[in-house]
Amino acid sequence: MTMLRALALSAVMLVAAAPPLLAQRAESLVDLLRLDEVLEVMRIEGIEHGEAIGQTLLGAGDEAAWAQMVARIYDGERMQAIMVRGLEQSLPADPAVLEAVEAFFTSDLGRRVVELEVGARRAMLDDAVEEVAREAWQVLEAEGGPRVDALRRFIAVGDLVEQNVAGGLNATFAFYVGLGDSGAGFPGMGEADMLAEVQSQEPAIRSEIDGWLHAYLAMAFGPLTEAELDAYSDFFATPEGRALNAALFSGFNGMFEAMSRQLGRAAGGMMLGEDL
């Protein structure tokens, strides 16, 4: 399960209020990067994931109640509020950094990559499209060449695999903690045991992330030339690009952890027969 297809989020994050300028810039980045559209895809993925958890953990007859609960957890406005608060906390205070980020994403290339990324995320909701994308990446990877090198450089510059693995592990741990909070956890299993269990899942999480991420980006960036993809990588290699990348991971991973914990609590409550 990846950050992009993670377990998802819970307890309201207690964060200090961001300075008004940062709050304004965070909202501006939501518009600029079309993060509301990305979050809508994540909301759909989260609901699907929640339904899968219900089929695994809950008995027959609970489907309708569980579906309603999952829909309440994956509320789009709440997801965006949590993500934006995390983004505000991590954005640098230096206006010049934020201005450089905005300058890139209002350029022709910046607008284009956002359009491609959002469109591919939406398309990958279809399992058939995802399968085709994975197969296409396997063929491309086997052939090698400048396109594969450019894609791998983009992933390496953003540290995308490692960041997503960390996010997936943290979200999985948050789900277990939520189960424990509900009282329906694992008897005799403490935090150290939960951490060990989560860590044992790292190879599977890494494999899923690696395959999905390469397939998604290969499809999304298909219309770009290698030179354009290199220019996008160059931006993320700048201090401004690194700051944006860190802020985005902070916002999204914090959201995933919060919702995963809430999902664990809800699942535990249903297992115990509580009306949550």
CA–CA distance, 65 with 47 (Å, rounded to integer): 13
Q: Locate tokens 């009306």: which residue? A: 275
Q: What is the model's pLDDT at position 1?
A: 37
pLDDT digits (tens, 9 = 90+) for 202-214: 999 999 999 999 9
Q: What is the model's pLDDT at position 93?
A: 82
Question: In this model, does residue 44 exceed pLDDT 60?
Answer: yes
Contacts of 196 (CB under 8 A, 6+ apart): none
Q: What percent of the chain has pLDDT over 90?
A: 64
Q: Mean pLDDT score of the chain, rounded to an integer?
A: 86
Select from 150, 154, 128 the least CA-distant residue to 141: 150
pLDDT digits (tens, 9 = 90+) for 136-152: 999 999 999 999 999 99
pLDDT digits (tens, 9 = 90+) for 190-202: 788 888 989 999 9
Q: Helix 20-32 crosses helix 35-57 at what angle (to 10 degrees)?
A: 80
Q: What pLDDT band is residue 83 in, cutting at 50, 70 and 90? A: very high
CA–CA distance, 80 with 252 (Å, rounded to integer): 9
Q: Locate tokens 């309708």: which residue? A: 64
> What mean pLDDT is predicted for residues 88-115?
91
pTM of the complete model: 0.86
| Domain layout of the chain by residue ranges | 20-271
Residue 262: C-alpha distances to residues 44, 62, 72, 164 (Å): 17, 18, 11, 20
Element of type H or E holding 163: helix 160-182
CA–CA distance, 117 with 219 (Å, rounded to integer): 9
Per the CB < 8 A criterion, the answer to whether 49 and 7 are in contact is yes
Q: What pLDDT band is residue 76 in, cutting at 50, 70 and 90? A: very high
* Alpha helices, DSSP H, located in 58-107: 63-73, 76-90, 95-105
Q: What pLDDT band is residue 121 in, cutting at 50, 70 and 90? A: very high
